[in-house]
Amino acid sequence: MPALNDWVAQVAALTRPSAIQWCNGSDAENEALIARMLADGTLEKLNEQTHPGSYLHRSHPDDVARVEHLTFVCTTHHEDAGPNNHWMAPEEGHAEMDALFDGCMQGRTMYVIPYCMGPIDSPLSRCGVEITDSPYVVANMRIMTRMGAPALARIEREGSFVKGLHSIGELDPNRRFIMHFPEELMIKSYGSGYGGNALLGKKCHALRIASHQARSEGWLAEHMLILGIENPQGETHYVAAAFPSACGKTNLAMLIPPEGYRNAGWKVWTIGDDICWMRPGADGRLYAINPEAGFFGVAPGTSAKSNANALASIQKNTIFTNVGVTADNQPWWEGLDNGQTPVTDWRGNAYDATKGPAAHPNSRFTVSAKQCPSYSPKAEDAQGVPISAIVFGGRRASLVPLVFEARDWTHGVLVGAAMGSETTAAATGAVGVMRRDPMAMKPFCGYNFADYFSHWLSFDTDGAKLPKIFHVNWFRKGDDGKFLWPGFGDNLRVLEWMIQRVKGEAAAVETPIGALPAEGALNLEGIALGDEAKAKLFGYDRAGWQAEFSSIGEYLDEYGPRMPQALKDEQQRIAGMLAG
């Protein structure tokens, strides 16, 4: 394909690698790559008996998380990037990056990775090519995308692809940028080997660039898990849910029903744990695919208790990044609770609990989704799965109840737009600060949030059969500072109520903030909730919500004249009901 060949030649002339390797995705290619990384210390082999085919990678200690302050969206007009993004003019962005890329691959191999985000034959999928000098990136992209010859064939057939150029550079935090050029469908990333900054198919393409593509093509690219809930009658409803990082997305995507539900015949199917692309179907419903082929999950806290399916998924053929290691060379992280102790920490030093955790708080595992016990074969369906409900949620210790349902689509978009959560270790900066994170897309929306909200609102057309929208908060705390809701598998109780609401079967109490479960409508069998828990999980604090809606109004005003009037009117409507 001339356009691809020309671009590869241009990049090679700029970066001056010692060799160029076009990646075909084959087993033989992967084995040779792994052997090379074992030889130079990029990877370490883990215990072949306990974790066959698995490896440890240690990244540079200054390169362990997304760097939102160094991530730019380069659009012709500043206002198109919006106040939610750092902006740079495209010509300035290219000049800045090309100066960094000049000669940066000397002595290194340049890998050309054709990949497809989504099932290879799906009309909802989109292709890209990442050029990188990191074999670690190649190995991860092979797990996370449909990478290699089939993707190249589709690119040649379609003639279009997202261009991604990456170099680890010198891993200098002062020479590190991730630049997006949505109008050119291009990404340039320099100076980081960390997943979200280096695996360009992931957040860079599948969210920042794809959100721009989705707006122009009439679909949605969202930071959402997708799961299927099969009831004892054999009906499966699919739910898409948006949560900021480390708010339980992977746990919910791989949820194991409580024993009573399992015995009754309930099943939960995993379609995806992080990204969801949705498009209206011929019948007016939204259909979704998971554009990824693997999981890039947070290791700490993953245990047999918190997420048995995730733990089962990563017992073989897994790349672990920045975890600790036990004496017999098994991966280890805080919260694993397997009775073992680490001897080496994520930096490769002798483990000393007084000097910090064994695993970095944002340490990761990369594994094929097909290894998950709850993986759904429907994840490969070209047409996607029909979405019955969309769920927004964050980490809120106070105010926000366990679950409520939006009155209609416009209210639901406001619920997503106003979503707040306390920050976690997945992003650099302070932990535990409440920030608004609309649709969990604050770090990932590739254009102005005001235009993004307008795009969401545009789906409410005649004939549309849109999903119901809900908000959840698994993290409400009591006066003693402890969580009031057990979470994990018991979250299925909340999902069951949602599905019954979709079917018009469950009772609810209408309030200004939305519909709350009526007493007895949520199955609480086997859960002991005290009076305080019930009041806080299923009630609402009018005075607290008055302050919240005042804050939401101020937040919407930050986006200026582009903010859709419909959302401002909805905020005013609810604020008025709360005042009344």
Annotated binding site for substrate: 66, 194-196, 245, 362-364
358: CB partners within 8 A, 6+ apart = 323, 324, 332, 333, 334, 342, 344, 345, 346, 351
Closest by Cα among 10, 17, 1 to 132: 17
Binding-site entries: 66, 194-196, 203, 223, 245-251, 274, 362-364, 395, 488-491
| 202 DSSP 8-state letter | I
Where would I find the beta strands (DSSP E) of 194-235?
Answer: 220-222, 224-230
Cβ 190 vs Cβ 97: under 8 Å: yes
Question: What would the DSSP string read from start to end of 105-125?
Answer: TTTSEEEEEEEEES-TT-TT-
Tokens of 504: 């018009």
232: CB partners within 8 A, 6+ apart = 264, 265, 266
Binding-site entries for GTP: 246-251, 364, 395, 488-491
Closest by Cα among 264, 327, 263, 317 to 295: 317
131: CB partners within 8 A, 6+ apart = 8, 11, 110, 111, 112, 113, 164, 165, 166
Tokens of 511: 């309030």
Residues belonging to the active site: 247
Alpha helices in 61-209 (DSSP H): 78-81, 90-101, 135-144, 149-158, 195-198
235: CB partners within 8 A, 6+ apart = none
Binding-site entries for Mn(2+): 203, 223, 274
Say how many Å lie between the first and final Cα of the chain, rounded: 64
Helix (H, G, I), strand (E, B) or coil at 541: coil
